[in-house]
Structure 1
Amino acid sequence: MKPGLLEVMRMNRICRMVLATCLGSFILVIFYFQIMRRSPFGVDICCRKGSRSPLQELYNPTQLELSNTAVLHQMRRDQVTDTCRANSAVSRKRRVLTPNDLKHLVVDEDHELIYCYVPKVACTNWKRLMMVLTGRGKYSDPMEIPANEAHVSANLKTLNQYSIPEINHRLKSYMKFLFVREPFERLVSAYRNKFTQKYNTSFHKRYGTKIIRRQRKNATQEALRKGDDVKFEEFVAYLIDPHTQREEPFNEHWQTVYSLCHPCHIHYDLVGKYETLEEDSNYVLQLAGVGSYLKFPTYAKSTRTTDEMTTEFFQNISSEHQTQLYEVYKLDFLMFNYSVPSYLKLE
């Protein structure tokens, strides 16, 4: 008996459904292997999210060693809070932050992180890590990212790009962290990088010429034109000159951490230190759920500015200027628990 028309149509429909199911399964398999190829660990770094957020991991650690580390970071948070409270007359001069105040806060939505970058405190490598975490780049190894590409603003999203409700939500629910450094060591590092390297012509023109014009008597026309031989003593005199910040804010490379990251207005969950950079950085990555396959890059320390170098640079600074400079960076010293350097001759 020949099958009826309805039965033929039904069989055709079943065949089409089977074919579609097989095709869909094949596509899913292909998609799975594409995902597996994104990192050598079989995990998509940019989009991985654990069952617990970084904040939950930080404030409710599940392992003893995390708990011990958490105690250290609680002490650092308390130090910031206590300093803000003790210096409330200074720290609360500005009660409301503007979007422009948030341009240093880099956002990673996938891992619910906010990182306030501070120049001269390993910010190039941390920007590289944030590019890997956010997937804003074609790299899975942070050290494959050229340094200049890490500083392209379009490669990372900052908090000032969000609406006010979105800003408030992220400040409340994301883990916020920053890295700090002994203030005068950071300052000497900025000076060495921006004023003693011949390739930094933009800084020489922008700041060097201004510093020489204001601080050097009988400056040559060449020095006034090039601005490429600023002395550290002249740089310090420029920083403590009241006219400097009345004209414009400090450049980010020598601006205070207090002014860059606003720790008296924004509660940072983790304060990392340059002195324990790798340990603190890997702790952040562990809290973010990526610590098993993403580590903070290590690099040669031969060019780093050290405490010994900093001591040498300050030998020719008068005690009066040392005292005035300390006052500029005093909150950073107190807030992040850095002692007054032994080489200072404060008045």
Structure 2
Amino acid sequence: MGRKNLTVMRLGRCIAFLAAAAFLLPFTILLMVADQQYHLTYNTKRVFYQESDFYKINGTYYASPYAVTTPTLPRTQYLFENGSQHEGLLTRDKFMEVNARMVARREFLRSECARLGLDGSGHKAYAWEYLINRQYHVIWCNIFKAASTSWMYNFNLMANYTAAFLDKTRVVLLELARKKYARPTVEMIKKAQADSITFLIVRHPLERLASAYNDKIVHAWPKSFHDKMGQRIIKKYRKLLSGDEPAPKERYPVFEEFVAYVLDEWKAKRMLDMHWTPYSRFCTPCKFNFDVILKFETLDEDQRFLIQLARLQDVVKPEWRNSGKGTNTLHNMNHLYSRLTRKQLDGLYNLYKNDFLLFNYTVHNYYDVVQEDTETKG
């Protein structure tokens, strides 16, 4: 009788085990599939180039644009102007020319980061101004006054806002974008970089500063944050800088007053406005790997290259949307900087030194237009 009961108990345990396995198996499979999909989405590096896709010119290897793939798209022949239904795309030769330019910029940035020691553990990475689009596998560090309006518009399109809505809304584009793109952490960026194109757009630091001054100070909306800032600048610096000379009549700070304010804020180690903060500080480009470095001076070709590389031609167009007021022609730039002293220009160079060095900009021509130092101008 005992042996029979033991057999029945063993049989019952087997049935219970099989029943549990039958119940849990679908969930186990589901978890395995979900885990696989997670790693596919987040940990599969976008394959830009493979060894077989390189060809050699004068001893230098270049990557063919036909090699661009993504984790979700099969290898397909790239679209170029010839025979393409998309307007404004680069020809194959032009694409390769810009690609070589991007390779040179990446290598220059890496070498300068190492030379200046900015890629070491003693320097903190900042993720505050980054936007990550997981659908199109693109990461952008937003530098204000460097085509930021254009690409904020594009990132809103990529977040499925319609062009019709974006063209008529009065909501600030950055505010709309942050509803779709949460501010990421450093870890989030580094994880997303595994299968994404990371890019930023840079501009000559002193041109960017002049653009910010023109847009945010000269043409500040009445009673806005920057209008109130301008009144504080006038109150503190107008009499100080003019000395015995007639004070300026402008209702906004003139350029030398604005520069004096910026330099004093920097020297006091107070946080600068995002429109003229050095972009090497809030993008910390030595702490992340950038695939594409666009420059304001070659923006038209550079952004066409990026659009093709990221396969965004059906979503965004290489348009230049500038919300700023006025222009920054060479004449206007020379006029503004002719108001400064060499000491002020020295101060600006020191403020933006890493921006100059990391992205291969020079300040030399500006010394030809500034004034000689005087006791009244600081």
TM-score by length of 2: 0.65
Aligned to 2:37: none
Please state how far the C-alpha of 1:252 moved relative to its aligned partner: 0.9
Aligned to 2:263: 240
Q: Deviations over 1:245-280 (max 9, x none)?
A: 645311110011101211011111110011122221
Aligned to 1:110: 135
* Bigger Rg, structure 1 or 2: 2
Match of 1:194 among 196, 203, 216: 216
Match of 1:338 among 354, 361, 364: 361
Please state how far the C-alpha of 1:113 moved relative to its aligned partner: 0.6
Aligned to 1:134: 159
Q: Deviations over 1:113-139 (max 9, x none)?
A: 10111111111110111111121x2x1
Is residue 105–residue 117 contact of structure 1 (8 Å, CA) maintained in 2?
Answer: yes
Change beyond 3 A, Cα 1:82–1:111: same
Is 1:96 matched up with 2:100?
Answer: no
Q: Take 1:291 and 1:128, find their aligned partners in 2: how far apart are those partners? A: 15
Aligned to 1:81: 110
Q: Take 2:165 and 2:108, find their aligned partners in 1: how far apart are those partners? A: 32
Partner-residue secondary structure (3-state), 1:267: coil
Is residue 46–residue 194 contact of structure 2 (8 Å, CA) maintained in 1?
Answer: no
Please state how far the C-alpha of 1:69 moved relative to its aligned partner: 2.2
Identity across matched positions, percent: 25
Aligned to 1:177: 199
Aligned to 2:287: 265
RMSD between superposed Cα atoms in Å? 3.3
Aligned to 1:124: 149
Partner-residue secondary structure (3-state), 2:135: coil
Is 1:157 matched up with 2:176?
Answer: no
Aligned to 1:61: 65
Please state how far the C-alpha of 1:304 moved relative to its aligned partner: 3.1
Match of 1:231 among 236, 254, 259: 254
Match of 1:256 among 269, 278, 292: 278
Aligned to 1:311: 334
Change beyond 3 A, Cα 1:167–1:326: closer
Change beyond 3 A, Cα 1:280–1:250: same
Q: Take 2:334 and 2:165, find their aligned partners in 1: how far apart are those partners? A: 33
Q: Take 1:200 and 1:80, find their aligned partners in 2: how far apart are those partners? A: 41
Aligned to 1:43: none
Is residue 158–residue 315 contact of structure 2 (8 Å, CA) maintained in 1?
Answer: no
Q: Take 1:93 and 1:183, find their aligned partners in 2: how far apart are those partners? A: 26
Partner-residue secondary structure (3-state), 2:334: helix
Size of the aligned set, in residue pairs, is 281
Is residue 205–residue 356 contact of structure 2 (8 Å, CA) maintained in 1?
Answer: yes
TM-score by length of 1: 0.70
* Structure 2: segments with no counterpart, 5+ residues: 1-40, 51-62, 67-77, 79-91, 242-249, 373-378
Partner-residue secondary structure (3-state), 2:366: coil
Is residue 201–residue 295 contact of structure 2 (8 Å, CA) maintained in 1?
Answer: yes
Change beyond 3 A, Cα 1:294–1:154: closer
Please state how far the C-alpha of 1:206 moved relative to its aligned partner: 4.8
Q: Deviations over 1:38-71 (max 9, x none)?
A: xxxxxxxxxxx9xx98652696632753333221
Please state how far the C-alpha of 1:201 moved relative to its aligned partner: 3.2
Q: Take 2:331 and 2:182, find their aligned partners in 1: how far apart are those partners? A: 36
Change beyond 3 A, Cα 1:145–1:326: farther
Aligned to 1:4: none
Partner-residue secondary structure (3-state), 1:343: helix
Please state how far the C-alpha of 1:203 moved relative to its aligned partner: 3.2
Aligned to 1:297: 319
Change beyond 3 A, Cα 1:245–1:302: closer
Please state how far the C-alpha of 1:193 moved relative to its aligned partner: 0.7
Q: Deviations over 1:260-302 (max 9, x none)?
A: 2110111111100111222211211111212256312246899
Please state how far the C-alpha of 1:244 moved relative to its aligned partner: 3.8
Partner-residue secondary structure (3-state), 1:67: helix
Q: Take 1:327 and 1:218, find their aligned partners in 2: how far apart are those partners? A: 23
